[in-house]
Amino acid sequence: MGNEKVLIIEDNELNMKLVRSLLQLGKYRVFEADNAEKGLQLMRANRPDLVLMDIQLPGMNGLKATQIIKKDNDLKHTPVVALTSYAMQGDEKKAVSAGCAGYITKPIDTRSFLDQIQKFIKHDAQETKAPNSDRPASQNSTCAKVLIVDDEPKNIKLLSAQMPPSEFNIISAHGGIEAMQKINDQHPDLILLDIMMPDMDGYEVTRRVKANPATKEIPIILITALDSKDDKVKGLEAGAEEFLTKPVNMAELRTRINSMLRLRQYRDQLKQRIQSEQNFTSSQKPRVAEQEPQDRPCVLLVEDNEKDINIIRCFMQDQPYELIVCRDGEEAIMMARKGAIDLILLDIMLPGMDGFDVCRNLKESDETKHIQVVVITFLTDLESKIKGVEMGADDYLIKPIDKRELAARIKVLLQKKAYLDRLHSHYEMALTSAIKDAPTGLYNHVYFKQFLELEVKRAIRQEYTTALIMIDIDDFKRFNDTYGHLTGDRVLNAIARVIKDNVRETDLPARYGGEEFAIVLPYSDSTGAETVAARIKRDVQLIDFPCEPADKPSKITVSIGVAQCPLNADTADKLIQRADEMLYQAKNEGKDRIRVCAGEVSN
């Protein structure tokens, strides 16, 4: 999955919405038509990898449309899967006779839908490799490295199929001993771990990983056929971050994987930032002691059912955080905006504004977007979970809630919130004068160099990409001569604000010197960096100064160069040089443009 295109031909809006949501969750590119004629046009224009065809369509029915597809030399190799509510004896035979590759009955089984779809889309590379071998490493080194441990090769293949090569590099192990060797040798970003294995079970692997300082922060998701609460508690107490029961709901698995990988990135980036700051300040002045937060984390429960409120209050009595309660969405948003809320347990079924709208509102606001949100509901259908994730929820739980699972989810998300908060302000507040450029509020040149050197070394060691953007204001000297240095300073500040508005918490924006800026983008390649650069270039052109007409500056533009490590350079100095070369190429070609380095590193 990842790049495959799926065409849905369906006239029922609710069915279309459900299928679309499931496919988008599986990272498919989706095209839609509400009748056969439009579907055939889209098929010829976009050449999808799979067609999901409703049988009962207005006008031309799905069977007739399938027959047309199978007679067209350009379209006949595309598999067509029939979708219909009429699962009567003989329907499947009719669909196959018309040329359909298979048959899915409505109402759709959301648990197995993506697995069914995957079977119909051909993966030549997957078909030719042995099921128990590691997947060849993707050329895109922004991919997360995931270790799948299971003594059953079919399970490894099934899980691998859910993780597109464009996003994941898969390593496999078939027992606990082999897993320990690969964990110590290859340091994966995430481990999917079976429990019942013959040589060393998953509990023991988890305990050993978490006891080793070099590996203890690798997230572990236990995946097992054991389904008792005691088994789940045993896994979480061994140190695993997550516990999923077979057969695995693939939508839930992807949600958990994404959550764990984000946590790992925040944690690694915080360590990198702190190490860089400590190295930088060690020769400047005595080290500033790291201060842990004194206040207990604050959890807000948004729930209108008194029975559920009392249950969760009882669950959380012995937990190391403060619990406060409100009973509707509007009040929840007001309390979140006042600050001091770290995590929200959010019921979906609320009076007035429902939980989905509350979540979207929180995640769209700069004041509240880092608050971790767990949606809680009686709804067991996958569509409600998907919607929660689409609204920006960080996790979800289904009632009735298990006390220990609730505690485990809260623990992981509070860690993530703490990493975000510290990335945002912890060391920066203590060391602003040493590492910041006072006029712009960005990091200064010396600190940028220190950080980039550490980041490049770590990127090469851990096999991921780091990108560098270099930005220069076009004709800034002439601008200063025309409008004066005070106006020039205002331009520098305005561009600094644009840069800060367009980067992530894990990125490092700096003033490189004079009218030149730099941005380090960990876990990003040149394509991602070019997207960021394009937004910055666009927003710089939109800068408006409230001046008198005679003093109003002309349009401001920037030239931008982009390079990435390790493809273009294997040291910090070389990476700066390559990005700088691209910057000056942009200047020489007429300014107000972006140039991206394409050449590989050379010695």
- For 436-596, the fitting CATH number among 3.10.129.10, 3.40.190.150, 3.30.70.270, 3.40.50.620 is 3.30.70.270
515 is catalytic: yes
DSSP tag of 248 = P
Cis status, amide bond into 247, omega within 30 of 0 = yes
pLDDT value, residue 434: 63
Query: Does 125-248 match 298-423 in CATH topology?
Result: yes
Mean pLDDT by 10 residues, the chain (603 residues): 82 87 85 92 88 90 90 85 65 75 79 79 42 50 84 88 84 93 91 90 93 88 79 81 79 76 71 63 46 72 93 89 93 89 92 89 84 80 58 78 83 80 57 72 89 90 91 89 83 93 90 94 92 94 66 78 94 95 95 88 49
- Measure Cα distances from 382 to 107, 388, 544 in Å: 13, 10, 46
What DSSP letter does each residue of 281-308 carry, written as one string? HTTTSSPPPPPPP-SPPEEEEE---HHH
Residue matched to tokens 């107000």: 592
Query: How far apart, in whole angstroms, are the C-alpha atoms of residue 55 and residue 41?
Result: 18
Mention the CATH class of domain 298-423. alpha beta
Token pair of 46 as six digits: 């976009």
Closest among 165, 178, 163, 97 to 137, alpha carbons compared: 165
Q: Tokens at residue 143, please?
A: 């991919």
In whole angstroms, what is the distance from residue 372 CA to residue 488 CA?
A: 40
Q: Which CATH superfamily is domain 5-122 in?
A: Response regulator (3.40.50.2300)
Check if the beta carbon of residue 423 is closer than 8 Å to that of residue 266.
Answer: yes
Catalytic residue among 277, 455, 515, 516: 515
Give the model's pLDDT for residue 124. 33
Residue 29's SS3 state is strand
Cis peptide preceding 509, ω within 30 of 0: no
How far apart are alpha carbons 69 and 65 in whole angstroms?
A: 6
Residue spans per domain, the chain:
5-122, 125-248, 298-423, 436-596
Q: In this predicted structure, what is the pLDDT of residue 53? A: 93
pLDDT number for residue 500 = 92
Beta bridge pairs of residue 105 = 84
> Hey, what are 145's tokens?
């490295």
Quick one: fold of 125-248?
Answer: Rossmann fold (3.40.50)
Q: Which pLDDT belongs to residue 125? A: 32
Torsional sign, CA 308, 310, 315, 319: positive
